[in-house]
Amino acid sequence: MNVLLVAIGGGLGAVARYLLGVWVKDNTKQRTIPTAMLSVNLLGAFGLGLFFHFMYGEIPEHAYEQRPYLIFGIGFFGAFTTFSTFSIEAVTLMQKQKWGPFFTYLLLTIGGSILFFSLGLIIF
């Protein structure tokens, strides 16, 4: 049953990530850093923080045993955010020796995700 819950949430999260990524690409000018996945990852971090805030009021220790976390925390937000695509885009910038955009992308994605998650967790 738990695997099914994760799969349902993951399917919805993956579709949401795709649709938001396409929308950002279609509605923004081409930038030196990958704005579509940056937007997805920051929004996903913020959403996960909000989820923890409203569902638990904190980061719970034993969330793996709870259905809401399986559906939303692991499933939806796990599939919505994308460390693998971030890695591909970062390595591509590195291979092209675009060092400014590379370090900017790393800082904004990693630092921004931590900041946005924290904001979502404490904002209300």
Instruction: Determine the Cα–Cα distance for residues 76 and 8; give it in Å rounded to an integer.
Output: 8
Instruction: Determine the Cα–Cα distance for residues 79 and 69; give it in Å rounded to an integer.
Output: 13
pLDDT at 69: 93
pLDDT at 65: 82
Report the domain count for the chain: 1
Any known ligand binding at 81?
yes
Domain that holds residue 91: 2-122
pLDDT at 48: 95
Any known ligand binding at 78?
yes
pLDDT at 17: 95
pLDDT tens across 94-118, in order? 999 999 999 999 999 999 999 999 9
User: Using alpha carbons only, what angle is made at residue 21 by residues 83 and 50, rounded to the nearest 5 degrees?
Assistant: 65
Weakly modelled stretches of the chain, pLDDT under 70: 124
pLDDT at 63: 81
pLDDT at 79: 96
pLDDT at 60: 83
Token pair for 57: 């009021």
